[in-house]
């Protein structure tokens, strides 16, 4: 007598697939670039891929955004440190310190560095999202590292649409 057991789904033997870390938050902050007026930040997002490549995007109050690419160099239960390397076609250098909290919210972002050789800074403080129906929808557009263009809408700290 022999017994043969089979598994209809072979996913049991596969290792788990790592997923990206995605942090988002409405808030208030300032982006400054030497020689230009400071700009107000209204929303920020951070995406860290399983290979530690990362993108930090800040949405400005005027509807434009600035996306930085880089590498995650440290992660704890409360913060992530990115080494920024580019912004679009521009060179960027400097660390970005991101403190995060529950529900993938961003508590704060602090960064000082250079963008094509010019000093820049980012200071951002996240605020708890309101759950009232009058909550503002934030829209950001940009270009990812792989040249894909995107448009993202968020409401109450959650993406509602990404194109």
Distance in Å from the first CA to the final CA of the chain: 58
Indicate which CATH number applies to the domain containing 35. Answer: 2.40.160
Residue 4 within any structural domain of the chain:
no
For residue 10, report the phi and psi dihedrals to the nearest 5 degrees: -80, 10
Residue 147 within any structural domain of the chain:
yes
Work out how many domains the chain is built from and give that number. Answer: 1
pTM of the model: 0.71
Residue 5 within any structural domain of the chain:
no
Asked whether residue 99 carries a pLDDT value surpassing 80, the answer given is yes
Sequence-distant (6+) residues with CB within 8 A of 1 are none
CB-CB neighbours of 99 under 10 Å: 17
| Nearest-10 Cα torsion for 140, 103, 148, 121 | 60
Residue 132's pLDDT band (boundaries 50, 70, 90)? very low
Least confident of 11-20, 38-47, 61-70, 125-134: 125-134
Residue 9 within any structural domain of the chain:
no
Report d(CA 66, CA 72) in Å as an integer.
18
Question: Is residue 55 within 8 Å of 145, Cβ to Cβ?
Answer: yes
């Amino acid at each position: 007598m022999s017994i043969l057991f089979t598994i209809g789904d072979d996913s049991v033997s596969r290792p788990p697939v790592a997923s990206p870390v995605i942090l988002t938050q409405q808030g208030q902050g300032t982006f400054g670039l030497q020689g230009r007026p400071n700009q107000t930040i209204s929303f920020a997002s951070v995406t860290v891929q399983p290979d530690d490549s990362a993108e930090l995007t800040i949405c400005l109050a005027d509807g434009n955004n600035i996306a930085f690419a880089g590498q995650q160099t440290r992660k704890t239960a409360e913060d992530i440190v990115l080494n920024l390397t580019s912004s679009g076609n521009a060179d960027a250098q400097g660390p970005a310190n991101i403190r995060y909290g529950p529900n993938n919210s961003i508590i704060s972002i602090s960064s000082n560095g250079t963008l094509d050789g010019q000093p820049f800074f980012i200071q951002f403080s996240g605020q708890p999202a309101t759950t009232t129906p009058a909550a503002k929808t934030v829209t950001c557009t940009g270009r990812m590292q792989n040249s894909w263009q995107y448009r993202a809408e968020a409401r109450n700290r959650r993406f509602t649409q990404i194109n």
